[in-house]
């Protein structure tokens, strides 16, 4: 009786999968992330809304700075302006000041649009005025103030998109501590928020930073080798031709990370089984890769050097390193691999190139 390898692969995948883990193989189609679209925000339209916001804060006796993020609606689930950056406006009401110093993971470059005030960074005070630029390093303790009778408005750009993409635990105190209630610092007058909505466009939405939740933390999971091996064996005998570059590949991804195809926030792990006699095509990609020979013997050619490997050996491939894998052995080989693909994918920088002639000329054999 013929074996239905599609069904067998599905059974082996289901034995591994859970509400946390999803199994992705070379048989699955993985779509590219949609590109992030550009947008423009007109200062002549946004300024009146920001001034109205400052006035509402003063009327309610709230003097803490208010950060308004410009969220790109096409940037995906990470609530950012660009894959790595968040931009926005900081409004400091007249005679307003931070309610306390706060340490942020983000690094920030800020430009003073109008007004005068100060920024304290790790206790050092910098007094600024219109058109000045302030640079604040990652991890610095910072606070802001405005000793004048007019609102101060700063434009800022920080690497919060990257921080959110990396799902770092510190993002929970991204702007304020999680225990802080946004209502303590934001005006309650709905009219000023409606004015901000009117400024928003097809690709951009203006939102207070305090109302943007932190990314959900990743959950740990375990994949047993025996289950992986059974799936790899099923894939080995599956009639569908292997990936011409890497053989038959399986990756384990965290379901909640969606289309980033990530095991954790920035890394994906899995295995590739290389059938006897397979010679993978030479290719290079924008992702870094670390591989460990989990089973069998084989070789990898990188930049013209052929490295023979066996179980336990570790291979390191920097981004854009031309490489190919294969085995001359009579038994299959298995490589365990970790790539930073989710980070590169999330930044929309995932690229792969192949060698036109297919394979590299071997100039040296390293055993």
Write the CATH number for 56.
Answer: 2.60.120.10
- Alpha-carbon dihedral angle through residues 73, 75, 78, 81, given to the nearest 10 degrees: -80
Any idea which of 88-102, 189-203, 342-356 has the lowest mean pLDDT? 189-203
Same-domain status, 133 and 159: yes
Residues 6 or more apart in contact with residue 142 via CB below 8 angstroms: 98, 101, 102, 103, 104, 119, 120, 121, 122, 136
Contact 68, 196 (CB under 8 A): yes
- Asked if 196 and 287 sit in the same domain, the reply is no
What confidence score (pLDDT) does residue 180 get?
55
- Asked if residue 283 is part of any domain, the answer here is yes
Residue 12 lies in a domain: yes
pLDDT at 284 over 50: yes
Helices (H), 142-224: 160-165, 190-199
Residues 60 and 197 in one domain: yes
- Residue 56 and residue 112 share a domain: yes
In a domain, 296, yes or no: yes
**pLDDT grade for 256, boundaries at 50, 70 and 90:** confident
Q: Please indicate, yes or no, whether residues 272 and 323 belong to a single structural domain of this protein.
A: yes
Q: Would 27 be classed as within a structural domain?
A: no
Q: For the chain, what is the domain count?
A: 2
Instruction: Say yes or no: 223 and 196 in one domain.
Output: no
Q: How far apart are the C-alpha atoms of 110 and 177, rounded to whole Å? A: 22
Question: Based on the domain organization, do 176 and 305 belong to the same domain?
Answer: no
> Is 50 exceeded by the pLDDT of residue 267?
yes
**182 lies in a domain?**
yes
Domain boundary residue, one of 186, 211, 236: 211
User: Which pLDDT tens digit goes with each residue over 172-207?
Assistant: 444 444 445 656 677 877 787 888 888 888 888 888
Query: Which of residues 211, 243, 277 is at a domain's end?
Result: 211
- How far, in Å, are 32, 41, 138, 262, 271 from residue 338 at the CA level? 20, 40, 27, 10, 9
Percentage of residues of the chain with pLDDT beyond 90: 62
H/E element, 53: helix 43-59
Least confident of 82-96, 193-207, 264-278, 327-341: 193-207
Residue 168: predicted pLDDT: 74
Number of residues written out for the chain: 367
Q: Beta strands 86-92 and 66-72: pairing type?
A: antiparallel
Burial code (b: 16+ CB inside 10 Å, e: under 16) for 164-176 equals: bbbbbeebebbbb
Residue 76 pLDDT class (50, 70, 90 cuts):
confident
Residue 330 predicted with pLDDT over 70? yes
The torsion angles phi and psi of 36, rounded to 5 degrees, stand at -85, 130
pLDDT of residue 176: 43
Residue 36 domain flag? no
Of 239, 198, 236, the residue nearest 42 (C-alpha): 198
Asked if 226 and 182 sit in the same domain, the reply is no
Q: What is the pLDDT of residue 215?
A: 76
Residue 105 falls inside a structural domain: yes
Same domain, 189 and 147: yes
* Side-chain-side CA neighbours of residue 29 (13 Å): 1
This prediction's pTM:
0.85
Per-residue pLDDT at 173: 45
Transcribe 108-131 into DSSP letters.
Answer: EEEEEEE--EEEEETTEEEEE-TT
Containing domain of residue 223, as a range?
5-20+219-366
Q: How does DSSP classify residue 304?
A: T
DSSP letter for 26, please. Answer: T
Q: For residues 292 and 320, state if they share a domain.
A: yes
Residue 35 lies in a domain: no
Q: Point out the domain boundary residue: 191, 211, 231.
A: 211
Residue 291 neighbours by CB distance under 10 Å? 22
pLDDT of residue 196: 83
In angstroms, the Cα distances linking 317 to 154, 287, 324 are: 43, 9, 11
Q: Packing angle between helix 5-16 and helix 225-236, nearest 10 degrees? A: 160
Residue 363, SS3 per DSSP: coil
Q: What is the pLDDT of residue 183?
A: 63
Range scoring the smallest mean pLDDT among 179-188, 291-300, 345-354: 179-188
Write out pLDDT tens, residues 44-73. 999 999 999 999 988 888 888 999 999 999
| Residue 126 and residue 250 share a domain | no
Residues 223 and 278 in one domain: yes
């Amino acid at each position: 009786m013929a074996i239905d390898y599609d069904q067998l692969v599905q059974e082996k995948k289901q034995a591994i999968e859970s509400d946390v883990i999803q199994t992705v193989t070379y048989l699955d189609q993985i779509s590219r992330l949609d590109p992030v679209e550009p947008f423009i925000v007109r200062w002549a339209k946004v300024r009146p809304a920001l001034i109205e916001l400052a006035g509402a804060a003063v009327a309610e006796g709230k003097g803490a700075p208010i950060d308004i993020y410009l969220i790109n609606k096409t940037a995906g689930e990470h609530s950012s302006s660009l894959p790595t950056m968040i931009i926005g406006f900081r409004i400091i009401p007249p005679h307003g000041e931070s309610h306390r110093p706060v340490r942020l993971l983000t690094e920030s470059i800020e430009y003073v649009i109008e007004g005068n005030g100060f920024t304290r960074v790790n206790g050092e005070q910098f007094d600024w005025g219109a058109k000045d630029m302030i640079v604040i390093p990652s991890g610095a303790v910072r606070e802001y103030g405005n000793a004048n009778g007019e609102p101060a408005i700063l434009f800022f750009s920080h690497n919060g998109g990257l921080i959110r993409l990396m799902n770092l635990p510190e993002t929970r105190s991204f702007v304020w501590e999680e225990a802080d209630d946004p209502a303590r610092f934001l005006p309650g007058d709905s009219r000023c928020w409606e004015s901000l909505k009117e400024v928003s466009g097809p690709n951009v939405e203006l939102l207070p930073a305090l109302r943007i939740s932190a990314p959900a933390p990743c959950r740990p999971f375990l994949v047993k080798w025996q289950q992986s091996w059974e799936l790899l064996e099923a894939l080995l005998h599956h009639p569908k031709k292997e990936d011409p570059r890497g053989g038959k590949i399986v990756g384990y991804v965290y379901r909640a990370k969606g289309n980033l195809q990530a095991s954790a926030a920035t890394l994906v792990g899995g295995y590739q089984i290389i059938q006897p006699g397979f010679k993978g095509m030479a290719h290079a990609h924008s992702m870094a890769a670390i591989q460990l020979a989990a089973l069998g013997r084989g070789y990898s050619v990188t930049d013209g050097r052929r490295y023979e490997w066996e179980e336990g050996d570790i291979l390191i491939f920097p981004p854009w390193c031309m490489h190919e894998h294969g085995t001359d052995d009579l038994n299959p080989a298995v490589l365990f691999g970790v790539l930073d693909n989710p980070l590169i994918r999330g930044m929309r920088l995932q690229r792969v190139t192949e060698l036109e002639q297919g394979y590299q000329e071997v100039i040296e054999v390293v055993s």
